[in-house]
Amino acid sequence: MFEAYQFASQHLELVAKWAVEHLLISGVAIGSAAVIGIVFGILISGQGKERVADLVLYFAEIMMTVPSLALFGLLMLLLGRMGLSAIGFLPAVMTLIVYGQLPILRNTYIALRQVDPAFIEAGRGMGMSERQVLFKIKLPMALPVIFAGLRNAMVLIIGIATIAALIGAGGFGVPIFRGLRNARMDLIIIGGVSVSVLALLVDGSMALLERFVTSKGLKR
């Protein structure tokens, strides 16, 4: 442990570089996955769309079973055939977006479907449009469950982003795999501890944000 601390103190710029790379990859993936997952969760939560919802959620579950290295390799092959960058940032982010979909999609869908119909009917009775019902009733009431899905996705993405170092995306996976190749326990500790701390910080920040944006009525 002391060796890891000594290495980190002597190579602060390098550790900071790994941190920035990991945050950049994870941040872009989390933001993109949130937008895609919440939008699709809203679209499949309407009445009469149960069969479509089952298919979408089933596909998201299937994608979660694909090993991350296999998905990295598949996307690298597809992007290469398309003439796009087959290594580094792009395939890493695309893979992480795929892995972040299930918890966001599932929680958004379940949360919106479980909103009390009495509140929805009351909103319609007040003359609200379907759009107003969605943004003023359904989403505010579903927010805690949606945030729980986002938090799960964030922790998942930050962890899997470590493997992205194998395709040249950087991040805290670099010291971990470098340590494994060279039997350097200090590098493995730096990478592993840093990823864990980053995940805890992000999860804690999201918990505070959830409490801030959730209405007082739902908190009770």
Q: Read off the pLDDT of residues 60-105 as tens digits, 9 standing for 90 and up.
A: 999 888 888 888 888 888 888 888 888 888 999 999 999 999 999 9
User: Structure tokens of 167?
Assistant: 């395709």
Closest CA to 22 of 220, 185, 216, 174: 174
User: Structure tokens of 97?
Assistant: 């977006």
Closest CA to 22 of 186, 176, 147, 181: 176
- What is the predicted pLDDT for the residue at 4? 65
Q: Is 113 exposed, middle or buried (0-12, 13-18, 19+ CB in 10 A)?
A: middle
Cα 115 from chain centroid (whole Å) = 24
pLDDT tens-digit map of 5-30:
676 677 788 888 999 999 999 999 99
Of the pLDDT bands very low, low, confident and very high (cuts 50, 70, 90), residue 126 is confident
Q: How far apart are CA 9 and CA 183, in angstroms?
A: 20
Of the pLDDT bands very low, low, confident and very high (cuts 50, 70, 90), residue 127 is confident
pTM attached to this predicted model:
0.88
Are the CB atoms for 95 and 79 separated by under 8 Å?
no
Query: Hey, where are the domains in the chain?
Result: 2-219
Q: Which of the four CATH numbers 1.20.1440.230, 3.40.50.720, 1.10.3720.10, 1.10.10.60 does domain 2-219 have?
A: 1.10.3720.10
Closest CA to 191 of 166, 215, 154: 166
Residue bearing the bigger pLDDT, 50 or 47: 50
CA atoms within 13 A on the CB side of 33: 34
User: Structure tokens of 3?
Assistant: 């060796």
pLDDT tens-digit map of 110-123:
999 988 888 888 88
Closest CA to 156 of 108, 88, 90, 97: 97
Q: 159 Cβ partners below 8 Å, 6+ apart?
A: 195, 199
Of the pLDDT bands very low, low, confident and very high (cuts 50, 70, 90), residue 40 is very high
Of the pLDDT bands very low, low, confident and very high (cuts 50, 70, 90), residue 182 is confident
- What is the predicted pLDDT for the residue at 149? 93
Closest CA to 29 of 153, 147, 176, 151: 153
- CA separation, residue 130 to residues 3, 18, 134, 166 (Å): 60, 46, 6, 47
Q: How far apart are CA 150 and CA 100, in angstroms?
A: 8
Tell me which amino acid residue 71 is.
Answer: L
Share of the chain above pLDDT 90, in %: 39
Q: What is the average pLDDT value for the chain, to the nearest integer? A: 87
- What is the predicted pLDDT for the residue at 7? 66
- What is the predicted pLDDT for the residue at 35? 95
